[in-house]
Amino acid sequence: MADEQSDSRTEMKQSFFVKQKLIDSARTTFQLLSAVLKNVTFYPEEHPVLLAAADKLLSKIEELLEGRKEAAFYLIGGELFFETLSVPIDQSFSPIMEQFAGRDIGGIIFKPGIASVEIIRFACMVSKESAFPVGKEDVNTLIAKEGIGHVTLHRALLVDKQAGAAIEAEKKKASDIFKDAVEALKEIVQAVYVGKAFSMNKVNSIIQVIVDSVLDDKDALMGLTNIKMHDEYTLAHSVNMAILSVSLGTYLSLDKPQIADLGVAALMHDIGKVTIPDEIISRQRKLTDEECNQVQRHPIDGALLLSNVSGVSKLAMVAAFEHHQYGENGYPEFEGKYKRHPFSQIVSLADSYEAITSSRVYYANHVSPDAAIRILLKNRGITCAPVLLQAFINMVGIFPIGTLLKLDTDEVGLVMHQTLDLMRPRVLILTRFDGSEKETGEVVSLVETMGGNYKRSISGTIDPNIAKIDIKKYFD
């Protein structure tokens, strides 16, 4: 067992570093391509400067091609991808990104056997504004005519549609995972309620699925944490917390088994609440002392309950016991100085964030996700260690998924994905801000530039309740 665990840890670390190295390599390759495109406008085809730039790019492409049938770059909504990996870009990339967008090119694929001379010919073609006219001959026929046989292009529209379909498919999967998790937890809650024994098998396997899904694409599941289910609030709250905690564990590059333990801890943190009546939990009125005591016992009850179940990670018990153990009103009371386990701190942090963003939905306390981040920042050092809070903010973004933004173009954008720039997420354009609702269905990245300047920037956030925009339907 220990060997198996250390094997999967090594594997995970390796894959993390391999991925980072690949992203760096792809970024450098694209920078070198950008240099060739620039040089081709200054020097004739045989010039040593241009030849040297092309050779440099060639060796980088060959490096990327090692063990691959092709090296594929995609440009989607102003962002750059190598295969499915997002490649970080800054404003220095805007000339090349705009050049390809202007030629309606959304995908560039290099094939093994490519030569320097093809690179130069390709750059010459791209440099011409009239290259690749839309609706005329097929782009690949055009480049083949120039003797370029090891580069394939894709039209922008086609790539966007494919990416859109992939995101759609991913969304479906994510909502199924969410529902399965709610069901698994519901079974346990029902068993605990009637005092029946339960098995952790289902929970462990659903957490495994969540971990794999988050490792694959964090944003697909994170979008779902915005859906606040009125009828099954407590269950959805715990599933949301599992997603947030697993995402943070992944963001912190914890080992896969540890991330899974953290997910179980988050999913089960409130299990001690099962016997408390709903009307007390929802706190619609001031609680009596007796009721208050009852609520404050849930960390102890939860830990005790979990200690009797086989296959539960010890950390889940610790997190259940410690998740309200902070601040002046923390409970259960504890004498002396007490240092909570980092996992308990992550669960507390996800709990606070979830509670704040839910209050927006349930109690009409109009707290936007970005305001929730500000509240967390105000409580810095209390709910959890400042370093964990910083990592959490870097992960969810300053404008978390589901935030409604007012853009400087007078459009309204709904945050769908984070990009590597916290101030420039990818948004779904919903409507003009003059109130005429017009769903364009267009997903754009705020990283996108035109003439070297950003096409759209954030000028503020909008309260969906006031703007009467139902954001839920975009995540269902």
Q: What does the binding site for Fe ion look like in residue numbers (CB under 5 A)?
A: 270, 351
CB 244 within 8 A of CB 211: no
Name the phi and psi angles at 445, rounded to 5. Answer: -105, 135
135 in the Ramachandran plot: left (φ > 0), alpha (ψ -120 to 50) or beta? left
What is the closest distance, in whole angstroms, from the C-beta atom of residue 237 to Fe ion in the complex? 6
Beta bridge partners of 73: 82, 108
What is the closest distance, in whole angstroms, from the C-beta atom of residue 271 to Fe ion in the complex? 9
Under DSSP, the state recorded for 148 is -
The nearer residue to Fe ion, 235 or 469, going by C-beta atoms, is 235
332: preceding bond cis by omega (within 30 degrees): yes
The nearer residue to Fe ion, 302 or 369, going by C-beta atoms, is 302
What is the closest distance, in whole angstroms, from the C-beta atom of residue 386 to Fe ion in the complex? 22
- Nearest partner of 237 among 267, 263, 192, 277, judged by Cα: 267
- Nearest partner of 175 among 243, 228, 224, judged by Cα: 224
Lookup: tokens for 366: 């109009």
The nearer residue to Fe ion, 276 or 393, going by C-beta atoms, is 276
- Nearest partner of 50 among 105, 124, 102, 111, judged by Cα: 124
**Residue/partner pairs of 183-191 with CB below 8 Å, 24 or more apart:** 185/235, 185/238, 185/239, 185/267, 186/232, 186/235, 188/268, 188/271, 189/234, 189/235, 189/271, 189/274
What is the closest distance, in whole angstroms, from the C-beta atom of residue 221 to Fe ion in the complex? 18
The nearer residue to Fe ion, 98 or 270, going by C-beta atoms, is 270
What is the closest distance, in whole angstroms, from the C-beta atom of residue 448 to Fe ion in the complex? 39
Name the phi and psi angles at 442, rounded to 5. Answer: -90, 125
429 in the Ramachandran plot: left (φ > 0), alpha (ψ -120 to 50) or beta? beta
The nearer residue to Fe ion, 121 or 298, going by C-beta atoms, is 298
What is the closest distance, in whole angstroms, from the C-beta atom of residue 307 to Fe ion in the complex? 17
CB 383 within 8 A of CB 352: yes
What is the closest distance, in whole angstroms, from the C-beta atom of residue 229 to Fe ion in the complex? 15
What is the closest distance, in whole angstroms, from the C-beta atom of residue 347 to Fe ion in the complex? 8
The nearer residue to Fe ion, 142 or 300, going by C-beta atoms, is 300
The nearer residue to Fe ion, 270 or 301, going by C-beta atoms, is 270
The nearer residue to Fe ion, 25 or 238, going by C-beta atoms, is 238
CA distance between the termini of the chain: 39
**Residue/partner pairs of 303-311 with CB below 8 Å, 24 or more apart:** 303/272, 304/272, 305/192, 305/271, 305/272, 306/268, 306/271, 309/197, 309/198, 309/200, 310/200, 311/199, 311/200, 311/201, 311/204
What is the closest distance, in whole angstroms, from the C-beta atom of residue 231 to Fe ion in the complex? 18
The nearer residue to Fe ion, 104 or 351, going by C-beta atoms, is 351
* Concatenated DSSP letters of 421-443: STT--EEEEEEETTS-------E
The nearer residue to Fe ion, 65 or 295, going by C-beta atoms, is 295
The nearer residue to Fe ion, 95 or 332, going by C-beta atoms, is 332
The nearer residue to Fe ion, 213 or 234, going by C-beta atoms, is 234
Lookup: tokens for 11: 């594997």
What is the closest distance, in whole angstroms, from the C-beta atom of residue 416 to Fe ion in the complex? 26
d(CA 228, CA 295): 22
Burial of 66 (0-12, 13-18, 19+ CB in 10 A): exposed
What is the closest distance, in whole angstroms, from the C-beta atom of residue 398 to Fe ion in the complex? 24
CA angle 403–156–62, rounded 5-degree value: 105
What is the closest distance, in whole angstroms, from the C-beta atom of residue 175 to Fe ion in the complex? 22
